[in-house]
Amino acid sequence: MQRGQDSIPNSTRRKHFTPLRFGYGHIMDSGDQESDPFSSASLWRLSRFSVEALRPLDDLPWNAGLPDISESAFTTSFEKFDDIDPIWKLNLSTDIEPPESSVHSSLDASIDAQSCVSVEGIQEKDTDDDIWGLDSLRPDPGSVAPLKSWEKFENRSFQEPVSAYFSESGVGGFDAALADISRKKGLEVSGRAVREAAFVRSLLRLGLGWSSPFFRCNPKTMKLEKNIPDIRVSGVSQSITDTIVEDVLRCGTNMQNVRNFARNVQTKSKDLSSVFTLRGTVAVIIYHFERQIMGHSDSIITMLQAATLFHRCGDLIQALAQIVNATEKASSDAEVISIVMDHAAFLAQKFGWMENLVQEIVVRVTEPWLGFIEGWIGLRPEGPALNDLIVNGKTFIQVEKYDDPIKFRTRPSRIEYAYRGDHMPSFIPHDQAQLIFESGKSLRLLRKSHPHHPIGRHDVLARTGHLHMHCATTWTEIEQIQRKAQEYEANLRAEILRYHKGDSEIQPTDDGSAPSDPAAENNEIVEKAFNLFDIDGDNQTSDSAMYEKTLSENKISDMLQRTRGEMIFSDSETRFGPELASELYLSFAPVIASQAQLIDFSCLHHLFKEHDVRHHLNLQWRFQLLGDGSFASRLSNSLFDPEMESGERKSGVVRSGVHTGLRLGNRDNWPPASSELRLVLIGLLGDCYFSEKEPDPSDKASTQDNELPGGLSFAIRELSSEEIERCRDPNAIEALDFLRLQYKPSETLEALITPRSLSKYDRLFKHSLRLLRMVSVVKGIVRDSTVRDTLAGDTRNVFQKFRIDAQHFVLAISDYCFHVGIGSTWSRFQSTLDKIERCLNRGDIDGTLEAAHSVPRLRDLHEDILDQMLFAFFLSKRHTAAAKLLDNIFSTILAFSPMSKADGSGLRHENEGQVLHLYSMFRKQVSTFVAYLRSLESGKGASKTMVKSAAFFGLRNEPTSVFEHLRVRLEVKDYY
């Protein structure tokens, strides 16, 4: 309770107390002290402090010899507070006592801390405050004066007695209790106590990752730790202090690691673009995080407030530290993006208030990768940076160079692009990743032949809408991207149709300004990212105006600026949008789909109309699959007809290419020489090819040189040493495995006729040659029964039974393979090609895409058709045992063939026992083969890939298994 300045007798204090009146009240002299203080009788008397009661002062003599007083003597101490050494503002230890202007209260335990803070508060007050304002009458909550008692009011030297209650003893009593407990337990000290204000300031620096008198960084462990192990705050136990400091220590260590990551720019030339962006983003977050902490530091006066401040901030810094630590081990942009996306999705679910921030980090980190995708699929010009990334193998594209194996060719090495799935971010679906890769690959193929195509001209793309890929965060933004993609696709469709009609006069853009270079913009962003952050523990934050401007112009800076004061203490506003893992896919899927459809249509038009891909596919069917009857017949005669003239080199005999054959099965030396092969097969392909089609005038040069499309010709297959040994036996089924057809499509046609599909054509050609030979062999053994000396009329003749059964089996297999395995499967593929070609003729983009879907889909259909043929030929991995059994049956028939010829020469009885053994073996093998056909399920009569393609393209599936056709042909009346 506040009192006046003059003394009052104890008798009055024992009675009721009446406040003194200053100004109008009066002080009684000794003669009036016994009067009643509640009486109004003496109110008429003047106070002794009135002017009339004062005696006039005597004139004092003036001493003229006194020195002049300097102006500094009249300067108040408040004007010099700014020049005080900052170390005195910290109040680091309790050894430095505060001014004795305040007396510790025994009623409030927090007075000590408040009085310490009030000293700093006084120093920081503005001396120009209006002393006449009403605000000056309000008490300062940070500078509460100790309460006074009557004893202290009466006697200034009076010492207040110590309160008997421990709860009123304040921090001194708590510290004394701790010291007493330490003595009883035998401990030397109970913790070194410091002022809470100084400790709070050090705690704030600790949370920001800076050193202070109480905390330092250990250079070995690279972690912050206590500089004084047993430090504590007066009034707080050592264990509670350590618990609070532990959380802030963790935040400070994470903050230091994140800061070091943002400042690590020594290896920026070797770094990844996504890491560049992540560093710049982290630097902006740290900068604004520090500013917010420093802005709240004035209101932090207790250790618990500091701990609460860094509680949520610690979660944010720990999240950044986890992302940083994970990305430092990444070796590609895709891995960095995947790591950031995985962590961001987890943090967005765990901390709802952090969702917008981690979402912005993902957006910024994926910007360079999205820029690369734009350049790859043709949405922006290709710059040197894009080509360098592709060549250096830092993306999902791998460049492979192939040299032409044909001699005396001077063409440059062919460049092929391969897909690397491990360099694609994990959140991209596999089909979407394949679409991105194939679109860029097809676009480069189109640009080589049509450099002025509208889809490759960026002035046209700018006029049609010029799409850009960016991450949308709400459903509204995603719908806007979809609408813009549809407008872009509609405008570019019109330009493409005009170009296909021959109207290639495309006007330049209205404004003469050149389009901005996205690569230069990306480089500028990267350079800013490296100059964003330059903070050390001494200077704290930079005062450079350029540095401030660089940070404030950043997008994350704007977002944090809007939420300043709310990011730490309140939750962010909710948004209506998809989850973070789906945002990117939903954002760029419409853009990629629109661009990919237009690229596919342009490439299909290029393949079908300019390179006549149907003619080349028909060429494979005619010669590789023996679909041309004239070619198959002439090839069979040239290889197996015994009546053809031999092409072997003989002394004194001039060889001619007319009616010359290899006569396989009627000669002893095998394989034939290369000159004999060339003599027999020369002109066979050319005669069959040009007999079906009259060459165009543009093909006269190739006709004169006998060069077929793709350089189609006979060649020698590369075989292993074991396979070569089997080819040396003319009676073996592998005798013709060395012969193959060679075809090399152009680089454009390789988009559909790939090396993998050519390998499948080669396997089918090798098997077809074996069937062609077996048909020739069974026809020969049947002719052997017509020889005059044969005993074919005998019903018990095992030779005749063997001939009939072998002919039935081989002809059934041949008819099944050529008519069902190849014929019906190829006709379904032809129907799809017919539909595509009709839509292209009408200029129907939607119909073309509905029929072909895309170039990769059509290529997959082509390969699936060949897989289905291999499946029907028992050449798939699933039917390896059946293929081996079929070769054994053919080998048994080939072993019987020379004995059948001997039967016509009258040597029947010498081979009858051996033929009986072969026939018995043949019957067992065929019975096993038919039993295997019966065991096949009807629902598994097609390859897995063919089932998917048939469903995708709407092809008609056979109601029964393909092998059911063969079983019916073989097992007539359950013969086996």
CA distance 939 to 962: 10
User: Predicted confidence band at 769 (pLDDT cuts at 50, 70, 90)?
Assistant: very high
Q: Are 750 and 606 in contact (CB under 8 A)?
A: no
Compute how many other C-beta atoms are within 10 angstroms of the C-beta atom of residue 371.
Answer: 23
pLDDT band at 904 (very low <50, low <70, confident <90, very high): low
Of the listed ranges 44-48, 175-179, 332-336, 879-883, the one predicted with least confidence: 44-48
Q: Which residues of 456-492 are buried (b: 16+ CB within 10 A; e: fewer)?
A: bbeebbebbbebebbbbbeeebbeebbebbeebbeeb
Q: What is the pLDDT of residue 553?
A: 52
398 dihedral zone (left: phi>0; alpha: psi -120 to 50; beta): beta
Residue 739 contacts residue 437 (beta carbons within 8 Å)? no
- How high is the pLDDT of residue 621? 94
Helices vs strands, H then E, count in the chain: 34, 10
Res 27 pLDDT > 60: no
510-524, 706-720, 785-799: range with lowest mean pLDDT: 510-524
Q: How confident is the model at residue 941 (pLDDT cuts 50, 70, 90)?
A: low
Domain total of the chain: 5
* 122, burial (CB in 10 Å: exposed 0-12, middle 13-18, buried 19+): middle
Task: Tell me: do 720 and 796 sit in the same domain.
Answer: no
* pLDDT at residue 450 in the model: 84
Find the mean pLDDT for residues 351-380.
86
The answer on pLDDT for 850 being more than 70 is yes
Report residue 458's pLDDT band, with 50, 70 and 90 as the boundaries: confident
Which of 344, 322, 357, 333 lies closest to 274 in space, CA to CA? 333
Query: Exposed/middle/buried for 848, CB within 10 Å: 0-12, 13-18, 19+?
Result: buried
The mean pLDDT value for 46-70 works out to 54
Range among 292-306, 316-330, 395-409 rated most confident:
316-330
Contact 376, 599 (CB under 8 A): no
What is the average pLDDT across 16-29? 40
Does one domain contain both 814 and 944?
A: yes
Measuring CA to CA, which residue among 668, 748, 743 is closest to residue 707?
743
Q: List, in sequence order, every beta strand (DSSP E) within 611-723.
A: 645-646, 660-661, 713-716
Identify the weakest region by mean pLDDT among 8-12, 155-159, 173-177: 8-12
Distance CA 396, CA 807 (A): 55
- For residue 272, the SS3 value is coil
53/45 Cα distance (integer angstroms): 11
pLDDT for the residue 47: 57
More confident residue, 829 or 562: 829
pLDDT at 288: 82
* Maximum C-alpha span of the chain: 177
The mean pLDDT value for 666-681 works out to 81
Determine what percent of the chain is predicted with pLDDT higher than 70: 67
Instruction: Let me know if residue 856 belongs to a domain.
Output: yes
- Report the alpha-carbon distance of residue 583 to residue 778 in Å, rounded: 67
What contacts 972, CB < 8 A, 6 or more positions away? none
Q: Which region among 57-61, 323-327, 453-457 has the lowest average model confidence (pLDDT)?
A: 57-61
Q: What is the pLDDT of residue 759?
A: 93
pLDDT of amino acid 924: 93
Q: Is residue 217 part of a domain?
A: yes
Are both 232 and 377 inside the same structural domain?
no
Residues in the chain: 976
Q: Are residues 671 and 777 part of one domain? A: no
pLDDT at 23 over 90: no
Structural element, H or E, at residue 739: strand 739-742
Least reliable range by pLDDT among 455-469, 584-598, 734-748, 844-858: 455-469
Q: Tell me what the mean pLDDT of segment 702-719 comes to.
A: 78
- The pLDDT of residue 619 is 94
Query: pTM of the full predicted structure?
Result: 0.70
Q: What are phi and psi of 181, to 5 degrees?
A: -65, -35
Q: Can you give the pLDDT at residue 38? A: 73
| Residue 702 and residue 819 in one domain | no
Mean pLDDT of the chain: 74
The reply to whether 399 and 494 lie within a common domain is yes
Crossing angle of helices 303-327/333-350, nearest 10°? 150
Q: What is the mean pLDDT of residues 724-750?
A: 89
- Per-residue pLDDT at 928: 92
Q: Is residue 285 part of a domain?
A: no
Q: Give the dihedral of Cα atoms 257, 262, 267, 268; nearest 10 deg.
A: 160
Tell me which residue of 203, 98, 179 sits closest to 143, measured CA to CA: 98
And the tokens for 92?
Answer: 């680091």
> How many other C-beta atoms can be found within 10 angstroms of the C-beta atom of residue 836?
22
Domain boundary among 714, 739, 764: 739
Cβ–Cβ < 8 Å for 589, 571:
no
Per the structure, the complete domain to which residue 777 belongs is given by 755-976
Residue 743 pLDDT:
93
Residue 510: band (very low, low, confident or very high) from pLDDT cuts 50, 70, 90: very low
pLDDT higher at 855 or 86: 855
Residue 973: CB atoms within 10 Å: 5
Residue 390 lies in a domain: yes
* Higher pLDDT, residue 650 or 258: 258
Q: Which two tokens stand for residue 178?
A: 């701790």
**pLDDT beyond 50 at 324:** yes
What is the number of other CB atoms lying within 10 angstroms of the CB of residue 5?
8
Q: What is the pLDDT of residue 55?
A: 52
518 and 592 within one domain: yes
Sequence-ordered strand ranges (E) for 199-283: 215-218, 223-226, 231-233
Domain endpoint, select from 210, 236, 253: 253
Do 652 and 594 have their domain in common? no
Lowest mean pLDDT among 237-241, 551-555, 607-611, 883-887: 551-555
* Mean pLDDT of the 565-593 span: 70
Q: Which amino acid type is present at position 392?
A: N
Q: What are the backbone dihedrals phi and psi of residue 498, each rounded to the nearest 5 degrees, phi first? A: -65, -40
Ranges of H-type helices in 185-237: 196-207
Q: What is the pLDDT of residue 141?
A: 52
What's the pLDDT at 43?
65
Residue 431: both structure tokens together: 């089909």
The answer as to whether 746 is a domain residue is: no
Instruction: Examine residue 666 and state whether it is found in any structural domain, yes or no.
Output: yes
783 to 216, 325, 804, 807, 908: CA distances (angstroms) = 104, 82, 11, 11, 16
Q: How far, in Å, are 406, 742, 836 from residue 713 at the CA level?
A: 13, 5, 30
List Cβ neighbours of 397 (8 Å cut-off, separation of 6 or more).
Answer: 376, 390, 417, 418, 419, 420, 437, 440
Residue 958 covered by a domain: yes
Contact 216, 227 (CB under 8 A): yes
Highest mean pLDDT out of 305-309, 394-398, 828-832: 828-832
pLDDT of residue 44: 62
Residue 971, class by beta-carbon neighbours within 10 Å (0-12 exposed, 13-18 middle, 19+ buried)?
middle
Q: Is the pLDDT of residue 80 over 50?
A: no
pLDDT tens sequence across 414-436: 777 888 888 899 888 998 999 99
In sequence order, what DSSP letters do the residues of 389-420 get, joined into one string?
A: HHHTT-SSEEEEEE---STT--PPPEEEEEE-
Residues 670 and 631 in one domain: yes
Rounded to an integer, the average pLDDT of 871-897 is 92
CA distance 145 to 2: 11
Same domain flag for 13 and 115: no
Residues 746-752, mean pLDDT to the nearest whole number = 89
**Which of 253, 277, 297 is where one domain is finished?**
253
Residue 797 belongs to a domain: yes
User: DSSP class of residue 44?
Assistant: T
pLDDT at 892 over 90: yes
Q: Would you say 343 and 335 are in contact if contact means Cβ atoms under 8 Å apart? A: no
Burial string for 791-823 (b: 16+ CB within 10 Å, else e) reads ebeeeebbbbbbbebbbbbbebbbbbbbebbbe
pLDDT band at 664 (very low <50, low <70, confident <90, very high): confident
- Span 692-713, mean pLDDT? 62
145 pLDDT exceeds 70?
A: no
Same structural domain, 488 and 589: yes
Q: Which two tokens stand for residue 483?
A: 């609408």
Contact 426, 369 (CB under 8 A): no
Task: Calculate mean pLDDT across residues 545-573.
Answer: 50
Per DSSP, 611 falls in state S
Q: What is the pLDDT of residue 590?
A: 92
- Together in a domain, 41 and 189: no
Highest mean pLDDT among 102-116, 612-626, 951-965: 612-626
Find the distance separating the first CA and the last CA of the chain, reported in whole Å: 123
Q: Measuring CA to CA, which residue among 438, 460, 471 is closest to residue 365?
A: 471
pLDDT band for position 952 (cuts 50, 70, 90): low
Confidence of residue 762 (pLDDT cuts 50, 70, 90): very high
pLDDT of 939 reads 54
Are 649 and 680 a contacting pair, CB within 8 Å?
Answer: no
The DSSP letter of residue 606 is I
Distance (Å, whole) CA 919 – CA 62: 157
